[in-house]
């Protein structure tokens, strides 16, 4: 258990990001193309989407893009780290043992943590955030 607390401390930035207008039903959130169990909150016409960003270095920079689709009742979130070195496909991801599932989840890949709450590491997608679920780095 001790290990888990250390891992969670890395994810210290919770952002409530507001979006445009209208509609009342439940919205499905997609993070980087993967369906997430993130629950949006409403503030009048605005949806609040709780996204977790990892602060792994001194000056991390992220571009977060939100696309709200009131017809499909979904919010697509793209999180991009322009400074992250892209190492694609060379080796198995050692964070997830190459299976692409978020190792913080219980059970792995479900998008929820031991407390049955949305896991901030993968933003509820169940995908390993180190390799974006590809299993390769």
| Interface with Zn ion, residue 121, by CB under 5 A | yes
Site for Zn ion in 18-77 (CB under 5 A): none
| 27 vs 95 by CB, closer to Zn ion | 95
d(CA 36, CA 31): 6
| Angle in degrees, CA 40, 133, 95, rounded to 5 | 110
In the complex, least distance from residue 41 CB atom to Zn ion, rounded to whole angstroms: 20
| C-alpha distance from residue 107 to each of 23, 95, 103 (Å) | 33, 15, 8
d(CA 65, CA 78): 5
Site for Zn ion in 98-117 (CB under 5 A): 102, 104-105
Q: Are 54 and 10 in contact (CB under 8 A)?
A: yes
| 29 vs 93 by CB, closer to Zn ion | 93
In the complex, least distance from residue 20 CB atom to Zn ion, rounded to whole angstroms: 28
Q: Are 41 and 47 in contact (CB under 8 A)?
A: yes
Choosing from 47, 49, 96, 118, the residue that interacts with Zn ion (CB under 5 A) is 96
In the complex, least distance from residue 104 CB atom to Zn ion, rounded to whole angstroms: 4
DSSP 3-state percent helix, strand, coil across the chain (nearest 5): 5, 30, 60
Task: Report how many residues bind Zn ion under the rule CB under 5 A.
Answer: 12
In the complex, least distance from residue 128 CB atom to Zn ion, rounded to whole angstroms: 3
Interaction site with Zn ion (CB under 5 A):
93, 95-96, 102, 104-105, 119, 121-122, 128, 130-131
């Amino acid at each position: 258990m001790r290990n888990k607390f250390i891992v969670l401390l890395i994810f210290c930035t919770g952002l409530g990001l507001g979006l445009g207008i209208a509609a009342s039903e439940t919205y499905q959130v997609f993070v980087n193309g993967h369906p997430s169990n993130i629950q949006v909150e409403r503030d009048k016409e605005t949806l609040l989407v709780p996204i977790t960003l990892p602060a792994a270095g001194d000056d991390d920079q992220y571009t977060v893009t939100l696309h709200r689709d009131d017809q499909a009742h979904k919010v697509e979130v793209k999180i991009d780290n322009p400074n992250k070195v892209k190492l694609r496909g060379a080796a198995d991801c050692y964070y997830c043992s190459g299976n692409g599932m978020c190792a913080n989840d219980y059970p792995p890949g479900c998008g929820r943590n031991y407390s049955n709450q949305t896991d901030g590491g993968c933003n509820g997608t169940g995908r390993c955030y180190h390799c974006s679920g590809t299993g390769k780095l």
